[in-house]
Amino acid sequence: MPYGLTKTELTKAAKSPLEKDVAKWAVDYSEGDVDGVPDALKSLMEHGISSGMVGHLVYYADTAKYFEKHKKEIKEMLKELSDDTGEQYPQALRDWDAEDPFADEEHNQNLLAWFGFEESAHRLANNLGLEF
């Protein structure tokens, strides 16, 4: 479905480094077609990142690096969501390993990387005024 989204609108909507990364992924996923970004975001929200559709966040080695790169922003997002919902571990972290509370191991780093990417996709969609 054509949305009429322009590159300028997408650039303005992607406010944080993570949202910019999601926007870049969505354009790439849409084979360079900026107008395909809404469909890419919708597909991500329907199938989730665990589907493997975000190629640079499939393997633990990659998700651990991604988490390290975006750790501060991801932790801020997690705190915000926890404050808003009253839940210590939002639904996205239901497989959290409680024996690794500081995310020193790859399993929890993977969950946090995926959480950060998916939450940023939701925020980018919201910034674009998309409703799915």
Q: Which domain holds residue 98?
A: 16-47+55-127
* CA end-to-end span of the chain: 13
Please compute the mean of the pLDDT values over residues 8-14 and round it to a whole number. Answer: 96
Cα separation, 26 vs 92, whole angstroms: 21
In a domain, 97, yes or no: yes
In a domain, 7, yes or no: no
In a domain, 9, yes or no: no
In a domain, 132, yes or no: no
In a domain, 92, yes or no: yes
Output the pLDDT for position 95. Answer: 86
Paired tokens of 51 = 């589907």
Average pLDDT over the chain reads 92
Domain tally for the chain? 1
- Angle CA(85)–CA(91)–CA(93) in degrees, nearest 5? 115
In a domain, 6, yes or no: no
Please compute the mean of the pLDDT values over residues 30-50 and round it to a whole number. Answer: 95
In a domain, 101, yes or no: yes
